[in-house]
Amino acid sequence: MKPLVQFGTMQMLVERLLDGFVSAKEMLESGNTGIGTGAGVDGELIMLDGVAYQVDVQGHVNRVADDFPIAFGDVHQADFKPFKHFENITLEDLSKEILKEVGTKNYFFAVKMTGEFAAVETRAAAKSEKPYPGLGAIAKTQRIFDRNDVKGTMVGYFTPHVYEGVGVAGFHQHFLSDELDFGGHVLGATLKSVDVELQLLSGLTINLPMDNEDYKNADLTDLSTLNDVIHAAESAD
């Protein structure tokens, strides 16, 4: 069993460490499926079958160049197992069914849903330039997108709660439409007719920006408000 491979931490985004330190090509060397965000929180990334797409703040879907710089990302090599076909269920209820199937909140696992979605709500962040604002300020410039009756793929990860701050605890999913005209960080969804696949992951491997002076010199010892900021910016509930 393979681990989830992560580049950067959520704490880095909260602490305004938004430089890109890994390219899309380098990230895809660790797997063919994933999610993430660009340097300066430049949109929402989704990697499917070894191809990386960005949903930018305008809501446009762009295939990203090999050298596209990434500030945070999760990637793994897909080896999904079919779970179940679901019809007319909210993402919230489906998440409960998935956790029942996995049987624990203490594993990392990947989720992939393909099919027809009755409604999907997403957001995409706007790229910031240095000096970078915090995640709270970035959240205010993001845009929200809605789409009804859309075919596409939702992919993402479940992270055990003890890793909040390292990643986003709980489910963190991104969406891409089959037509490549809609997507982003998933805030909510209702599924019409969707096949759900799951893949357990053995743990977490983290790659840090070892050549970045800002990261090296940052004081990252105060964790007192970290979880609140992440929860406010990332949570779907």
Residues that bind Zn ion (CB under 5 A): 185
Is the Cβ–Cβ distance between 44 and 124 less than 8 Å? yes
Q: Which one, 213 or 237, has the nearer CB to Zn ion?
A: 237
Q: Which of 75, 66, 74, 62 is nearest to 13 (CA)?
A: 74
Minimum Å gap between C-beta 196 and Zn ion is: 19
CB closer to Zn ion, 136 vs 193 = 136
Q: How far is CA 97 from CA 92, 101, 102, 103, in A?
A: 9, 6, 9, 10
Q: Which is nearer to Zn ion, 185 or 192 (CB)?
A: 185
The distance of closest approach from Cβ of residue 32 to Zn ion in the complex, given in angstroms and rounded to an integer, is: 18
* Distance set, CA 76 to CA 56, 146, 224 (Å): 23, 28, 31
Minimum distance of Zn ion from residue 63's CB (angstroms): 18
| Beta strands 4-7; 204-207: pairing state | parallel
Q: Find the residue with minimal CB distance to Zn ion.
A: 185
For Zn ion, the closer of residues 1 and 135 by Cβ is 135
- The strand pairing partners of 122, in sequence order, are 145, 186
Shortest CB 35 distance to Zn ion, Å: 6
**For Zn ion, which is the closer residue by CB, 81 or 158?**
158
Q: How far is the CB of 204 from Zn ion (least distance, A)?
A: 17
Contact 23, 71 (CB under 8 A): no
Token pair for 182: 């809609």
**In the chain, where do the E strands start and end?**
4-7, 22-23, 33-38, 44-48, 51-55, 61-63, 69-76, 81-90, 108-124, 143-159, 170-177, 183-201, 204-207
**Which one, 76 or 185, has the nearer CB to Zn ion?**
185
Name which of 112 and 185 has its Cβ closer to Zn ion: 185
**Least separation, in Å, of the C-beta of 78 and Zn ion?**
18
User: Could you tell me the smallest distance in angstroms from the CB atom of residue 123 to Zn ion?
Assistant: 8
Q: For the chain, what is the radius of gyration of the CA atoms?
A: 16
Find out whether 208 and 216 touch, Cβ atoms under 8 Å: no
